[in-house]
Amino acid sequence: MYAIAVLGNFTLLFIVKIDESLHVPMYYFLCMLAVTNLVASMSTVPKMLSIFWFNSREIDFSACLTQMYFIHCFSGMESGIFVAMAFDRYVAICDPLRHSTILTDSLVSKIGLAVVLRGSVLALPFPFLNVALHFHILMANAYLLVPPMINPIIYGVRTKQIRDRLLRLFTHKGT
């Protein structure tokens, strides 16, 4: 299955590269997906095969972290590419006459760069992970307490009947 996946993705990349008629956004996104699938499979399957074939049951800590980074990074990229492909199909269906003017090569490359940056940055270990435990507890409590405290204010003021009743309550003069 691994060989078929690698061969299929390389075939897709080769065909899109040599055929000029396939140089459109849909196939660019398919190529991005193929590259993502290639790197994701090449980062996990060789070690898995060494475990099964050679009974090599150990992995270095740094290799494990690298493999984990690539799995998370390229999974994030894959979901971003799916969103970009959905946007491409949305524009093609809803505004077919302007599809080529909306999805230009520069926009597709910017979307591709955004997908790569999103996947890479979201998988990075952040320095604020070394924050003291009490800060996490404080933030969890704030997350649970602040929205219920703010929602009545926001939705109460936005609802006309509640706002009018509140104004009558505070502006009512004694009779």
Same domain assignment for residues 117 and 150: no
pLDDT tens for residues 54-93?
A: 888 788 888 888 888 888 898 899 999 999 999 999 999 9
Same domain assignment for residues 119 and 149: no
When pLDDT is cut at 50, 70 and 90, the band that residue 3 belongs to is: confident
Same domain assignment for residues 97 and 119: yes
Same domain assignment for residues 56 and 116: yes
Same domain assignment for residues 52 and 117: yes
Q: Give the pLDDT of residue 58.
A: 82
Q: Which domain holds residue 70?
A: 2-125
Same domain assignment for residues 15 and 97: yes
Average pLDDT, the chain: 81
* Amino acid letter for position 26: M
CATH (domain of 11): 1.20.1070.10
CA distances from 10 to 3, 15, 35, 130 (A): 11, 9, 8, 41
